[in-house]
A and B are shown apart, each in its own frame.
Chain A
C-alpha cells in the first residue's frame, strides 16, 4: 500500500463553485458601484425601470450576499469538510445538483427582482416559488455536509474540527430563520403576503435580518477563518479552546440581537433594550475570535510582508473586530437615536461586508485556487495590487458613509431658536452629494480589484491546464 499517496477528494464541484464565486463578486460589486453612482448622479437611472436604484440595490444585495457569499460558503464548506474529516463528499452528485440549482435559482432571483417581483422584506426579497427552491437547495447542501461528517472514519478522526461546527451552526440557523421569515400566503405565482402583520412582522423580519448577518455572514465566514488562516499561515490556530467558546457564545447570543434594528418603534421598549444589551455582550466573544485569528501569527508577523493572501485574511479580522465593536455601539439607544435611518448604517454594513466577508473570502478563494489546480498563481503581484485596491476602496467607502451618516443625523435633529427644524430633508440630501461621489469611487476601486482577481484566477487556471496538457503529451 502506498502510504505517501495524497488523499483523493471531490474537487470538481469545489472548482466550479470557486470560479462562480469570483464571477459573482465581479457582477455584484459592479451592480453596487452602479447603484452608488446612481445616488450621486441620478441621471444614471436612464429612466429604465429594470435598473432604477430601487431594484438595482436589491439585485446588488442578493448577488453579493447569496450568489458571491453563498457560493463561497458552499465552495469552502465542501473543500474543508473533506480535508478535516479525511473523507470524500458523501454524495458528489448531490453536491453538483446543489451547485447548479443554486446558480440557476440565484440568476432567477436577480431577473425577477429586476422585473419588480419582490416580497419587500429585507434580504428575503425572493418571491415564494424561488424562496422554496432556495430553501430546498440549502437543505441539500446542509444534508450532504452533515452526512460527510457522519461518514468519516471515527478511529482516525474521532473529533470534528471547529470550522465544521461553525458551518453546521450556520446551516441549521439559516434554515429555520429563512423558512419562518418566509412564511407567506401566495395569491398568485409571483405575489404573496407575509403570514405575520404589523409589529410582529417587523420583529420576525429583523430576527431574520440580523441573523442573516450573524449566521450567514459571520458564523459561516468564521468557519472559513478557522480553517484558512491556520492553513495559509502554516501555524495552528492560537487557542482551540477559545474557538470553542467563540462558537457557543455566538450560537447562544446572536439570535437575541434582531430587536436592536427596531429601537424607537412600536416594538415594546424592553425588547429593543434586550437586543442592545446582548449586542454589547457579544463584543466579548467577537473580539475573542478576532484575536484568536490574529494571534495565530504570533512570532511570524513578518509573513505579512511577503504573503499577500495572508494579508487578505488578517485585514479581514481587523475589520471583523472593528465592525463587531461598531455594531453594538450603534445598537445602544443613545447612539441609535442619531445613527438610525442614516448612511452610518450603510457604512457599518459595508465595513463588515467589504472589510470582513469579502476580504476573508478572497483570501480563502486564492488559497483554494492554488490547491485545487495544484499550481502557483499566475501573478502574485496582481494579488498585492488587488489587496490595495480592495483596502483603499473599503476605507474610502466607509469613511464617506460615516461622515455622511453623522452629518445626516445631526441635520435631521437640528432645531432653530423657534423650535422648528433647521434643515429641510432636501437640504440634507443635497449636503450628501460629495460623500456619495466618494462612496462611488470607493466602490469603483473595490470592483476594479475584483476584476483583477477574476483575470488572475482565469489566467492561473489556463496556465495550470496548459501545464497538465503538456505533461500528458510528454508521457504519451
Chain B
C-alpha cells in the first residue's frame, strides 16, 4: 500500500455509530455550502438579492 493510500484509506468495518453520524453531517454540510453558493451567486438572483440592501436606508 502506498503512503497516499495508507493516509487516505479508511477501515470501514471499524466505523462506530458516532463516526457515521459525523461523516454524514460533514458530507451534508459540504453539499449545503455548495447549494448555498449556487443559490446566492447565480446571475439571475443578483437583482433580487441586491435590492434588499436599499430597504433599510428608509426604515425610520
Q: Chain A: residues with CB nearer than 8 A to chain B? A: 6-7, 9, 83-84, 86, 159, 161-163, 227, 230-231, 234-237, 239-241, 243-245, 248-249, 252, 371
Contacts and interface: CB of A to CB of B under 8 A. Distances in A.
A6 B60 contact: yes
Contact of B52 (A235, A240, A252, A371): A240
A83 B56 contact: yes
Contacts of A162: 52
Contacts of B55: 84, 161
B28 to A, nearest CB: 10
Interface string B29-60: 10011001100110001100111111111011
A179 B42 CA distance: 38
Interface in B5-30: 29
A7 B37 contact: no
B48 to A, nearest CB: 9
Contact of B59 (A83, A235, A240, A249): A83
B49 A240 contact: yes
A244 B49 CA distance: 9
Contacts, number: 59
Contacts of B45: 241
B56 A227 contact: yes
A240 B50 contact: yes
A159 B33 contact: no
Contacts of B29: 252
B7 to A, nearest CB: 12
B60 A84 contact: no
Given A241-B46, A241-B50, A234 B33 contact: no
B49 to A, nearest CB: 5
Nearest to A157: B55
Given A241-B41, A241-B46, A245-B40, A236 B53 contact: yes
B29 to A, nearest CB: 5
Contacts of A239: 50
Given A241-B49, A245-B40, A252-B32, A236 B54 contact: yes
Nearest to B30: A252
Contact of A7 (B49, B50, B60): B60
Nearest to B42: A241
A241 B52 CA distance: 10
Interface residues of B, number: 20
Residue of A9, A234, A245 with most partner-chain B CB within 10 A: A245
Interface majority SS on B: helix, strand, loop or mixed? helix
Given A86-B59, A241-B40, A245-B40, 10 more contacts: A161-B52, A162-B52, A231-B56, A236-B57, A240-B52, A244-B36, A248-B32, A248-B40, A252-B29, A252-B32
A371 B33 CA distance: 38
A245 B36 contact: yes
Nearest to B36: A248
A252 B33 contact: yes
Residue of B32, B46, B54, B59 with most partner-chain A CB within 10 A: B59
Contacts of A249: 33
A127 to B, nearest CB: 30
Contacts of B60: 6-7, 9, 83, 371
Contacts of A231: 56-57
Nearest to B26: A256
A237 B59 contact: no
Nearest to A160: B52
A79 to B, nearest CB: 10
Contacts of A163: 56
A227 B46 CA distance: 20
Nearest to B37: A245
A7 B33 CA distance: 38
Closest 6 CB pairs of A and B: A236-B53, A83-B59, A240-B53, A248-B36, A244-B40, A237-B53
Nearest to B35: A248
Contacts of B59: 7, 83-84, 86
Nearest to B51: A240
A234 B56 CA distance: 10
A252 B52 CA distance: 23
Contacts of A86: 59
A476 B54 CA distance: 41
B53 A230 contact: yes
Residue of A163, A231, A243, A244 with most partner-chain B CB within 10 A: A244
Contacts of B33: 248-249, 252
B32 to A, nearest CB: 6
